[in-house]
Structure 1
Amino acid sequence: MGFSGWIRLGGAQAGVFVFGALCWAAAGAGHVATALVCAVAGLILINILLLNQRRRQSPVQRAPDATFASEQSRRRLGALVDETPSPLLLQEEDGRLIAVNRAARQMFDVSSELPVATRWALLGPGDRLDSLRGQIDWAGGRYAIHKARLDHALLAILIDITPEVRAAEASALRDLLKVLNHELMNALTPVASMSRSALELIDDNTPESLATARGALRTVVARTEGLVGFVDSYRILTRLPPPDTRPIALGPFADEVARSFRAQWDRHGVSFELRTDIAGAIAVMDAEQIRLCLTNLLNNAAEAAFDSAQPRVRLALTLAGHQVEVAIEDSGRGIETAMAETIFLPFYTTKANGTGVGLSLARQILQGHGSSLVLRPPGELGGAHFCFALPRPANAANPWEAN
């Protein structure tokens, strides 16, 4: 209320007092009509006073109503976000990763903030939400990642695409059966034909026919050996035993893998680098299976690195809370985005003499360890970049040091 308003209000209050006094005096003197007029005038001024009072109080009275409506809207929006079926994650500038809604809290089994070990398992050594690309595997599910930049924070929406992935796996199984049928028929048809020809030539019993029969039989042997190798590869995939996990010292294990790789590839001019930040660290794993997994991945990396002028392969092991992050990089041409899933299909290969088993076997081994093989964007070497994590002992007193 302005200064003039206060003047009017003060005048009205004085008028009420004056008319009240006049009404009392007139009534005491017996002037009833005058007393009634003064009473009516006083009532009018009282109404004016009350109206002004309500006007002064109305903003204060409306404020709680507006606040209540705003609070209702906020709660309604919060409930909608909380009931969103897709997990929502929010990372603030300080690095904290928050499970925004119920789906995210259930997915990561937290009440709000993700612990450091879970955060590292999800985000890797970069520890930033914007490092996630494309898809992730978590708790047996596959999730597509969509991100949105907010003020001083990054929001990620994880969309469950597990049903689509399973449908793709069923399609891959059908493709696998087609491959098996194709490979078996390609091997067996000429074997049967040449075997019949060899029998006929042997029956002729001439030097020329016997020489031709021996050539046919050599071809039969070569085709049969190739078929045996193919079947052995298939048997490895289908008969991989459950991992026999136990605590393994990672330092000596990594050194042994490095020596084996160098013995095979140094003479071919492939430069190998072992990077470790695992002094005294222990991982829980099946050493033989993980050695086989790494051998396949490193051999693939070495073969891919031949596409570069200076073939290079790197194996890096880094402590990541209660896990060990393992990364394999090469200096090759890398892997096209369109092939990111195809390369893991059994028997799929782009190599002339490849079996198409290496990556599929490595992924199967890691799934048995509760991990997953992930194709990351190219790293420092510029080629393919594969990562996976291995668990450390649960009773480790310090997540950065092994017992």
Structure 2
Amino acid sequence: TIPISVRISEFKQKKEKFKLITFQNIESELNEKELLSWHKLIRVLTHEINNSISPITSLASSLEKLFVKSEKNISVQDVDEKIIKKTSEGLQLITKRGEGLINFVNNYKSIASIKQMDFEKIKVAELLYNMELLMRNKLTESNIVLKIEIQPIDLEINADKKYIEQVFINLIKNSIEAISDSKGIIKLNAYKTTNKKVIIEIQDSGKGIDPSIMDQIFIPFFSTKEKGSGIGLSLAQQIMQLHGGSITAQTLLNTGTKIKLNF
């Protein structure tokens, strides 16, 4: 079977109407588009894998340090309840994030055609504090303070956990990269509006976004970073749309950026 494009055009000649039908073999064009789509998909998957593996590796390194003192492994007698608790919490988070990454990779190829996601009730406090734990080492290295405010504390959202976690990893990572000065601040603020909509804001004290490109930041593969893929924000927008929500951005140069997730 050969894919063919059919075009019909009408014209007049000596007061008579004629139809010109042209047939064109478009197999090569389709092959080129398919190859380009695969290249884009590989870039997306690489971006998301790196974003998840980086905090996992960082957290694993922090857990390893709990068992090392003066460059030597501590003895069994030195392992107290505090170390056991921190190790258990860290390993559980690594396992959950690893499982979420596996599901994400397996499902991303068909994300555009997903009609129903795996929705569940998620406690916003648990979600945000898990993100703080997952990104803690990177935040400490960058000398950034993460503040979390939730009103009311028992706030819940109906969402697909693995995809929403991916959104927050991308957004927090963006905020960290946007803060060049020391003692930066990232605020995660969650609340419910008068019409019972849940809003979660990610606000940073970074350099902000140039107003002239604000209308392009959600376009796939658009990036101002030298090594940026332009995937994070466009993917976040797609995931929020699949949740029936939205994502918006506000920014001031040299003041910071606020990303608002509307559920």
User: TM over 0.5: same fold?
Assistant: yes
- Cα distance in 2 for partners of 1:292, 1:275 equals 20
Instruction: Give 1:70-219 correspondences, 5 Å limit.
Output: 181=36
Aligned partner of 2:136 in structure 1 is: 262
Structure 1 residue ranges without an equivalent (≥5): 1-176, 185-226, 391-403
Instruction: Give 1:360-379 correspondences, 5 Å limit.
Output: 360-378=234-252
Instruction: Give 1:220-235 correspondences, 5 Å limit.
Output: 229-230=42-43, 232-233=45-46
Letter in 1 for 2:173: N
Aligned partner of 1:352 in structure 2 is: 226
Aligned residues: 169
Aligned partner of 1:273 in structure 2 is: 147
- Between structures 1 and 2, the one with greater strand share: 2
Structure 1, residues 125-167: CA drift from partner, whole Å, max 9, x if none? xxxxxxxxxxxxxxxxxxxxxxxxxxxxxxxxxxxxxxxxxxx
Q: How far off is 1:265 after superposition?
A: 2.2
Aligned partner of 1:92 in structure 2 is: none
- Cα distance in 2 for partners of 1:337, 1:278 equals 34
The verdict on how the C-alpha distance between 1:326 and 1:231 changes in structure 2, with shifts beyond 3 A counting, is closer
Q: Give 3-state SS (helix, strand or coil) of 2:256's partner.
A: coil
- Between structures 1 and 2, the one with greater helix share: 1
Tell me which of the two structures has the higher relative contact order, counting C-alpha pairs closer than 8 angstroms and 6 or more residues apart.
Answer: 2
Aligned partner of 2:193 in structure 1 is: 320
Structure 2 length as normaliser, TM-score?
A: 0.56
Q: How far off is 1:389 after superposition?
A: 1.6
Aligned partner of 2:118 in structure 1 is: 244
Q: How far off is 1:378 after superposition?
A: 4.3
Query: For the Cα contact (< 8 Å) 1:233–1:357, is it kept in 2?
Result: no
Q: Give 3-state SS (helix, strand or coil) of 2:121's partner.
A: strand
Letter in 2 for 1:315: L
Structure 1, residues 205-241: CA drift from partner, whole Å, max 9, x if none? xxxxxxxxxxxxxxxxxxxxxx995263598765324
Q: How far off is 1:382 after superposition?
A: 2.2
Runs of 4+ displaced beyond 4 Å: 180-184, 233-238
- Cα distance in 1 for partners of 2:201, 2:250 equals 9
Q: How far off is 1:283 after superposition?
A: 1.4
Letter in 1 for 2:193: A
Q: Give 3-state SS (helix, strand or coil) of 2:230's partner.
A: coil
The verdict on how the C-alpha distance between 1:346 and 1:228 changes in structure 2, with shifts beyond 3 A counting, is closer
Structure 2 residue ranges without an equivalent (≥5): 1-31, 48-104
Structure 1, residues 156-188: CA drift from partner, whole Å, max 9, x if none? xxxxxxxxxxxxxxxxxxxxx99x85996xxxx
Query: For the Cα contact (< 8 Å) 1:330–1:385, is it kept in 2?
Result: yes
- Taking only the aligned residue pairs, the percentage that are identical comes to 24
Bigger Cα Rg: 1
Aligned partner of 2:66 in structure 1 is: none
Q: Give 3-state SS (helix, strand or coil) of 1:341's partner.
A: helix
Query: For the Cα contact (< 8 Å) 2:186–2:203, is it kept in 1?
Result: yes
